[in-house]
Amino acid sequence: MKILQVSSAESWRGGEQQLSYLQEELMNSGINSTVFCKKNSALHAYCKTNRIPHETFSGGRFAAVVQLTKVCRKAKPQLLHTHDSHSHTIAWLAQQLKLINTPLVVSRRVDFPIGKNPLSLKKYNHPSVKKIICVSKAIQKIIEPKIKKKEKLCVVHDGIDFQRFAERQPYPLSEREKKGGLLRKELHIDKSSFLFGKVAALAPHKDYPTFIKAAEFLLQKGIPAHFLLFGHDGGCKEEIEQLIAGSPYRKRFHLMGFRQDINLLLPELDIFLFTSKTEGLGSSLLDAMYCGIPIVSTAAGGIPEIIQHEKNGLLATIGNATELALQVERLIQDKELTKKLIKNGKQRVLHFTKTAMAQKTTRIYEEMLS
């Protein structure tokens, strides 16, 4: 089996993390898989550092088409797996121009409908597309009306790597409150304050204005807390900085950026506050559950496929800062509820491993090639 994994992303987000997990598992299984990615991207750096077989492209869309064609003619992959919309477009254009005829597997991670543009509809319904892997049932339901052959659609949930946290075993909320921790030392925060945080790109659909409003609601009520935002700039960092600068509680917010040591820092949070207004699945929620962090989240996209309200987390209406803040208050006040959510979350997350994700994806490859 020879697979070419195609990605056009420049930064490192959830999709790139899942692609890296998939590539790692495929290689461990002896499957011939190569990454085709943008030169000097975060994924390119990952491939070089970890000695992952890879090819790169540079320039605009049509330059990428030419370079993809060269790679396909040289390596002769049996399948192309595209991991984002732009990489799907590159592969589709190569098919349209009859430069390649390799079957496509397309991953869909975003929870909004396929565009009304005729080219978008054509791209997803092209005969070369044999399977569309949706990251959640919610995504499948959203795009299904625009897909002519419904049998192309399938669902493979994200998986996480439990070994990422092997260096820092999770410990209970009560113990976290007693420990100094790396975050408190770095930010000079005393042990009397809660640490609430979110791990996500600073992008519009993550709805940081609602996060900030919920934080201000809690601070107005006198809850001693600091709010930590982990993630690279996804297009709205400047807006977030302005919102924080205009807040009377500006010193309580900390933009942490993209951190390579998130596996060490994440377990130190007291509550994971997730405010997305659209979300394919929300793989950072899986990391939080494994680390034993109680979660308050909006019920966006595929999130309810991870978080079951009042069983392993608390859900709130999208965009409702007050409701989110009140759910955080519940966790602060109700220790028994918090313990229950943490216990059930750690059991629930065992179903979302990177190995399971890769095995399901491999079965899709095998089905197509058979």
Three state DSSP letters for 105-138: EEEECCCCCCCCCHHHHHHHCCCCEEEEEECCHH
Are 342 and 294 spatial neighbours (Cβ–Cβ below 8 Å)?
Answer: yes
Q: Is the pLDDT of residue 5 over 60?
A: yes
pLDDT recorded at residue 56: 97
Residue 172 CB coordination number (10 Å): 12
pLDDT recorded at residue 176: 46
Least confident range of 70-84, 162-176, 205-219: 162-176
Q: What is the mean pLDDT of residues 149-177?
A: 75
Distance between CA atoms of 212 and 70, rounded to whole angstroms? Answer: 48
pLDDT recorded at residue 220: 97
Distance between CA atoms of 80 and 65, rounded to whole angstroms? Answer: 13
pLDDT recorded at residue 171: 46
Tell me which residue of 262, 190, 193, 269 sits closest to 228, measured CA to CA: 269
Residue 309 CB coordination number (10 Å): 13
DSSP 8-state code for residue 237: H
Q: What is the mean pLDDT of residues 125-154?
A: 96
Tell me which residue of 14, 3, 10, 127 sits closest to 77, measured CA to CA: 3
Are 230 and 257 spatial neighbours (Cβ–Cβ below 8 Å)?
Answer: yes
**In the chain, which residue ranges form alpha helices assigned H by DSSP?**
14-28, 42-49, 61-75, 85-96, 118-124, 137-143, 173-178, 181-187, 208-220, 237-245, 262-265, 283-290, 321-333, 335-348, 354-369
Residue-wise pLDDT for 74-85, tens only, equals 999 999 999 999
Domain boundaries of the chain, sorted by first residue: 2-159+353-369, 163-351
* Neighbouring residues of 143: CB distance < 8 A, sequence distance ≥ 6: 108, 113, 114, 124, 132, 134, 153
pTM of the model: 0.90
Q: Is the pLDDT of residue 135 over 80?
A: yes
Average pLDDT, the chain: 93
Q: Is the pLDDT of residue 287 over 80?
A: yes
The vertex-310 CA angle with 306 and 314, nearest 5°, equals 65
Q: Is the pLDDT of residue 178 over 50?
A: no
pLDDT recorded at residue 167: 54
75, two tokens: 């390596």
Q: Is the pLDDT of residue 359 over 60?
A: yes
Q: Is the pLDDT of residue 173 over 50?
A: no
3-state SS, one letter per residue, for 163-223: HHHCCCCCCCHHHHHHCCHHHHHHHCCCCCCEEEEEECCECHHHCHHHHHHHHHHHHHCCC
Q: Is the pLDDT of residue 216 over 60?
A: yes
Q: Is the pLDDT of residue 9 over 50?
A: yes
Give the CATH fold of the 2-159+353-369 domain: Rossmann fold (3.40.50)
Tell me which residue of 249, 161, 245, 234 sits closest to 198, measured CA to CA: 234
pLDDT recorded at residue 140: 97
Go through the chain and tell me how many residues it has.
Answer: 370
| CATH superfamily to which 163-351 belongs | Glycogen Phosphorylase B; (3.40.50.2000)
Residue 316 φ then ψ, to 5°: -140, 165
pLDDT recorded at residue 224: 97
pLDDT recorded at residue 163: 87
Residue-wise pLDDT for 227-286, tens only, equals 999 999 989 999 999 999 999 999 999 999 999 889 889 999 999 999 999 999 999 999
Residue-wise pLDDT for 318-331, tens only, equals 999 999 999 999 99
Report the share of the chain in percent with pLDDT over 70: 96
Q: Is the pLDDT of residue 41 over 90?
A: yes
Residue-wise pLDDT for 293-327, tens only, equals 999 999 999 999 999 999 999 999 999 999 999 99
Residue 174 CB coordination number (10 Å): 10
**Is the fold of 2-159+353-369 the same as that of 163-351?**
yes
Q: Read off the pLDDT band of 343 (50, 70, 90).
A: very high
